[in-house]
Structure 1
Amino acid sequence: MHYWSVEWTRYMQQVNEYMQYQTQQIQQLNGKLEALEKQIAELKKNSTQPPVINNEYRFDLLKVERLEGTLNIGLNPNPGDKDSSIEELAIGQSMDIPKGAEQQAQFQGIQEQVQNYLNSDAYRTLEHIEERYRYPLDEPYRKFIVEDVKKQIDERIRYYIQNHPETAENKEQSIINDVKRDIEKTFEAFIKNLPRKDEGPGWNST
């Protein structure tokens, strides 16, 4: 019981620190935007034809660091491995954005279906896994897990579009099924490795 309490307290402290960090990042970004707006207002005030401002937007300002210990969705280098979860991305591997109108339309169609799944049936799937491993979660924690998956799922879809062996006729539904399967296996792997009262991290029901 004491071990479980310590692990849970530590995890909640990490979540709290993560939220504080994100709040600070947002405040810093707001400050930069306000300063930029003031500069533009001054230029408009002092010149009838203000010079062109080279405003190179820095996307790293919006970079969100994941809390260590939460889901880290990745890509399995071997799509034929049906037993893999989507936590197996090799560090540094990147996916190209689908090119062409056909691939882009396919990506958007798959993305919509997967997002619909994550907004509804994924919660029921997660609850079934909780029952299987006798590890009930509360609703905010389920949402925390699902939202973390949502942020990372597009890369998985792009990977399958580029590497899936199915013909165009069957490809879209097949990719949707594969992504759902990967999400479920990621849920399962995450819950299996949560610390338990007696067994500690890495507990397995089998």
Structure 2
Amino acid sequence: MYGNEWNNYLHELQYQMQQQDEKIKALEDRINTLEKEAAENKTPNIGKIEYKFDQLKIEHLAGTLHIGLSPSDLENIEDLAIQQTCPPNYPMPLKQELTGELQQYLRETGPSIISNLSATYHKPIDESFQAILFEDINKQLPSRISFYEQEALKQNYARESDQFHTFITEKVKHEINQSLQNYMQSSGKTGDD
């Protein structure tokens, strides 16, 4: 009798080992499949990028830069979009002149502004990210010019006067400088991240 029990025990042990071996093989196959899927899908997962500061908001992936808006203003962004769709009240040559002048200002003084702010706040900005910042600011110039045109009219500047022109350019230049400074003060992306 002992021989038969011993055979049954060995047979049961062999059966359990086969079951475990099959489970191990199935798990190995599953691991290999998952590793292949992971290797094929090596795209980075970028979460939502949100910056908490007053004047500047850069959403690089969406390609927008909001200058001159506080977080409370962003709640009413739809209202701003409606206002910005209105045709400008000044002749197109003036708008083109202001845009060209401000783009030139940004080209000539922008790199030194960023360099100085970078040194002040110990945040290096690489050239490619600097170019992205300038591109985003340039896209915002027409709407900011329109905004300050309305402000100049509220302050009763004559549309054809030098004061009208100077008011708009100085306000936009100040806004650009302030936005870049606020951005550098924040813990925003530097291009090296």
Give me the TM-score of the superposition, normalised by structure 1: 0.51
Instruction: Give secondary structure in 2 for the equivalent of 1:107.
Output: helix
Q: Please name the residue that 1:174 is paired with.
A: 167
C-alpha contact (below 8 Å) 2:68/2:175 kept by paired residues: no
Q: How does 1:4-153 map to 2 (within 5 A)?
A: 14=46, 66-67=59-60, 72-76=65-69, 88=73, 90-92=76-78, 93-94=80-81, 95=84, 96-99=86-89, 102-153=90-141
C-alpha contact (below 8 Å) 1:157/1:179 kept by paired residues: yes
- Is residue 184 from structure 1 mapped to residue 177 from structure 2 by the alignment? yes
Distance 1:88 1:111 in 2: 24
C-alpha contact (below 8 Å) 1:86/1:185 kept by paired residues: no
- 136 and 111 in structure 1: CA distance in 2 versus 1, 3 angstrom threshold: same
Distance 2:177 2:73 in 1: 14
C-alpha contact (below 8 Å) 1:74/1:88 kept by paired residues: no
- 137 and 131 in structure 1: CA distance in 2 versus 1, 3 angstrom threshold: same
Distance 1:124 1:86 in 2: 28
- Over the matched positions of the two proteins, sequence identity in percent amounts to 19
Instruction: Give secondary structure in 2 for the equivalent of 1:73.
Output: strand
Query: Root-mean-square deviation (CA), in Å?
Result: 3.3
Count of aligned pairs: 126
Distance 1:155 1:87 in 2: 19
Distance 1:98 1:158 in 2: 7
- Give 5+ residue unaligned stretches, structure 2: 1-43, 47-58
Instruction: Give secondary structure in 2 for the equivalent of 1:72.
Output: strand
Give the superposition deviation at 1:145.
Answer: 1.1
Instruction: Give secondary structure in 2 for the equivalent of 1:97.
Output: coil
- Is residue 193 from structure 1 mapped to residue 186 from structure 2 by the alignment? yes
Task: Specify which structure has the higher proportion of strand.
Answer: 2
Distance 1:70 1:132 in 2: 27
Deviations 1:9-41 (A, max 9, x none): xxx975xxxxxxxxxxxxxxxxxxxxxxxxxxx
Distance 2:71 2:179 in 1: 6
- 107 and 87 in structure 1: CA distance in 2 versus 1, 3 angstrom threshold: farther
- 174 and 128 in structure 1: CA distance in 2 versus 1, 3 angstrom threshold: same
